Amino acid sequence: MTGKRYSTATAVALICAATVLAAPGTAFASPASAPATPAQPPADPTPRTDKSLEQVRKEIDDLYHDAGVATDAYNAAEEKADKQSKQIVQLARDIAKGQAKLKKLKARAGAAARAQYRGGGMPSEAQLMLSDDPGQFLDGARRMRQGEKATKGMLTELERTQDDLRVYAEDATARWTKLEANRKSKAAAKKKIKKKIAAAEKIESTLEKKEQERLRKLEEAAALKKQSAWVSSGVLKDIGGKASARGKKAIEFATAQIGKPYVWGAEGPGSYDCSGLTSKAWASAGRGIPRTSQEQWKQLPRVDVKNMRPGDLIIYHSDASHVGMYLGDGAIVHAPRPGRDVTITGAGSMQILGVVRPDK
């Protein structure tokens, strides 16, 4: 995306509706029958005012925000569960290796015991004392010391292997316990996400098509108002950093996803949630970063807004529940929420918590 510039401007359109009333037709009845009552058309629902729609917008925003927080919790639990699953698999391999090693050591110990039995059960020291040949005595003494050393080493290794197996087993048990806890956390977060999204969609489904269009315009107007206030503060005067080589690759990936739908928990290739988009974008640039916006805020190096450059990640809301990638010229690319697609919008259109730099 070298040299490519981005700017955002949103126009708020006014929708005017005209009501056309049709004149009722004339009804005729036979003289013997009572006059027929003309059928009355169903009354149109009273259209919501902009004020009531604004309340609906805020209610929907709150629901989707809560769904975003729950999505972060789900993604974090999933990431931990994946990591713990891999660790458990590695522990299982270590245990298998330890058990094979223990089996070999026990076989060696058994062979030594059988050798002593074949010697009549007499200790090697006693057998050595019965030798009349000085050379045989010295050679036997040397071999006896070597044998004692080897036996001691074998017993030490046997004990250490048994200790390792015990530690592996305890570690595996602990990780299984954590894995189950994270699975429960995922299930709870998933339930909350679906509940919040369903509530928001239910509210939206009660709106007439024209009201939905007006609601979209109100969303755009609210975002434009915040962006205008942010730009008017003069913050962009101090922002002039250039994207790093990796930052350019991350931007190229992220902007190539524009138009793909937001799906909670998704990280491509057909859909994304907010942190799924940013984590995959930076992974494409060769830099692995945490999966969730909250962990991106906690773990990645922070920079002042005035020092941010294209490719940096802007974290939003006091609970770090949303993230977008800065493009320059006061714009970001992000996956907004359910029902919306990956898009470009103003960097100041939401409450900025801070900025982090993956390749600092």
- Compute the 3-state secondary structure of the chain and give helix, strand, coil in percent, each to the nearest 5: 60, 10, 35
Task: State the virtual CA torsion across 145, 150, 154, 155 in degrees, nearest 10.
Answer: 0
Residue 47 CA: distances (Å) to CA of 20, 61, 202, 214: 15, 21, 18, 11
**Preceding amide of 134 cis, omega within 30:** no
From the list 16, 65, 317, 322, the catalytic residue is: 322
Known catalytic residue at 65? no
DSSP-derived pairing of the beta strands 302-303 and 313-316? unpaired
Residue 243 neighbours by CB under 8 Å, 6+ apart? 1, 251, 309, 310, 311, 328
From the list 16, 65, 274, 317, the catalytic residue is: 274
User: What whole-number distance in Å separates Cα of residue 299 and Cα of residue 297?
Assistant: 6
CB atoms within 10 A of CB 41: 9
From the list 16, 65, 317, 334, the catalytic residue is: 334
In the chain, where do the E strands start and end? 302-303, 313-316, 322-328, 331-334, 343-346, 352-356
Nearest-Å Rg of the Cα atoms of the chain is 36
CB atoms within 10 A of CB 77: 21
DSSP 32: T
**Burial (CB count within 10 angstroms: exposed 0-12, middle 13-18, buried 19+), residue 236:** middle
User: What whole-number distance in Å separates Cα of residue 350 and Cα of residue 181?
Assistant: 34
CA angle 218, 221, 223 (to 5 degrees): 110
CB atoms within 10 A of CB 316: 24
Closest CA to 158 of 115, 108, 111: 108
**Catalytic residue IDs:** 274, 322, 334
